[in-house]
Amino acid sequence: MTIRKVISEIDRLIPLQQAEDFDNVGLLCGVPDRNVSGILICHDALENVVDEAIEKNCNLIVCFHPIIFSGLKSLTGKNYVERAVLKAIENKIAIYAIHTAFDNDFFGVNHGICSQLGLKNMKILQPKENNLKQLTVFVPKDYSEKVKEAMFSAGAGSIGFYDECSFTVNGNGTFRPVEGSNPFSGQQNIRENADEDMISVIFEGFRQGQIVGAMKDAHPYEEVAHQIYSLDNKNHHVGLGMYGELEEEMDEKDFLRFVKEKFGIEVIKHSDFTSKKIKRVGVLGGSGASGIRSAVSRKCDAYLTGDLKYHDYFLAESKMLLCDIGHYESEQFVSQQLFEILSQKFSTFAISKSIEKTNPVNYFI
């Protein structure tokens, strides 16, 4: 199987179009038409990880953080980014980054954190906006099911944990073929009445091209009457952060001890205690200050993330316990999650999880 085919399959599971606009995800280096000898999964594709890939005969590294984030103007090995990329290229190793595509995935980074905490009733903290569209198309009644099946196969009609969702209204359509037309039914210059269904489906915007193409391929008409609308609805199954509820509420200090145990950490930076019981918990892996206000609005009692700055601790307005558990520490389950996902999907070549240390932060206790 080629690298191109493998990353295409990964994209079906975790679409890169879910990533944030600022991010640099996808194939960062490597020739996509080479056959895959093995996959190495890691958090950061540093030089020591590339060495590990060489040793394990893995020519595709699937990493969480993109090793190339901003533009490279040269490749001379003068810094850690260039050294890693040069070594990968010299050894014919491809690097594929997934980052915020997995952050925004319902079963991604934040789902992993919530699962580790045993949270129930998990929901997206910051649902994606400007993400959903609606397609309405008019179809001869006898072709209605065929067109629906084609659109469903292309990704239309998926709403949360339901798929093949649509709404159909039957009615009478009219059209008049004019000179130059080649009508499916009727004659030129004579108005035709047709028994038609109006089919409506919702879809994620990035799927528009494939859905419209599939719909037109299945449709019998020469000219297909259809409309596409951008929806103001938020996509509550894609977005940054999650929140959920503990099985039993806890005192704040007991909650911090619980988090230390679950995450295997020695240190948690936190805001002032609020004297509230902890029941609803918000999480956002990585640098998550942007989710503080959302967590407050969701009435979370505590919020777990990393990389909080001094002034970020004021944003909770004493309504919620802020917990900075560390950037890497909040994302530490990502490699295992990706390993399980890819191992289930691919069985024809070796998939390994990196054992190299890439967390640059150390603690003196």
What is the DSSP secondary-structure string of 11-72?
Answer: HHHS-GGGS-TT---EEEES-TTSBP-EEEEEEE--HHHHHHHHHTT--EEEEEE-S--S--
Judge if 105-126+240-330 and 132-231 fold alike in CATH terms.
Answer: no
Question: What is residue 129's DSSP assignment?
Answer: S
244's CB contacts (< 8 A; 6+ apart) are 114, 117, 119, 120, 121, 122, 123, 280, 281
pLDDT tens sequence across 270-327: 999 999 999 999 999 999 999 999 999 999 999 999 999 999 999 999 999 999 999 9
Structure tokens of 82?
């260039």
Does the domain at residues 132-231 carry the CATH identifier 3.30.565.10?
no
> What are the b/e assignments for 19-42, b being 16+ CB within 10 Å?
beeebbbbbbbbeeeeebbebbbb
51's CB contacts (< 8 A; 6+ apart) are 87
The response to whether 226 counts as a known ligand-binding position is: no
> Which residue shows structure tokens 């893995």?
58
- Over 90: is that where the pLDDT of 212 sits? yes
CB atoms within 10 A of CB 320: 24
The response to whether 270 counts as a known ligand-binding position is: no
State which amino acid sits at residue 94: A
Q: What is the pLDDT of residue 130?
A: 94
The response to whether 43 counts as a known ligand-binding position is: no
Contact 278, 251 (CB under 8 A): yes
Q: Which long-range contacts link 311-315 to residues 24+ away (Cβ below 8 Å)? A: 313/271, 315/289
347 pLDDT tier (thresholds 50, 70, 90): confident
Structure tokens of 112?
């992993």
- Over 90: is that where the pLDDT of 349 sits? no
Task: State the architecture of 105-126+240-330 in CATH terms.
Answer: 3-Layer(aba) Sandwich (3.40)
How far is C-alpha 323 from the geometric centre of its chain's CA atoms?
Answer: 24
Q: Phi/psi of residue 203, each to 5°?
A: -155, 160
How far is C-alpha 326 from the geometric centre of its chain's CA atoms?
Answer: 22
pLDDT tens sequence across 188-197: 999 999 999 9
Q: What is the pLDDT of residue 124?
A: 98
- Over 90: is that where the pLDDT of 348 sits? no
pLDDT tens sequence across 11-63: 999 999 999 999 999 999 999 999 999 999 999 999 999 999 999 999 999 99
How far is 254 from 104, CA to CA, in rounded Å? 30
How long is the chain? 365
The response to whether 331 counts as a known ligand-binding position is: yes
SS3 5: helix
Q: In this structure, which topology does domain 3-101 adopt according to CATH?
A: 3.40.1390
Average pLDDT over residues 257-266: 97
240's CB contacts (< 8 A; 6+ apart) are 100, 103, 104, 110, 124, 125, 126, 284, 290, 291
How far is 137 from 218, CA to CA, in rounded Å? 12
Report domain extents, the chain.
Answer: 3-101, 105-126+240-330, 132-231
Q: What is the pLDDT of residue 132?
A: 97
CA neighbours closer than 13 Å in the CB half-sphere of residue 205? 16
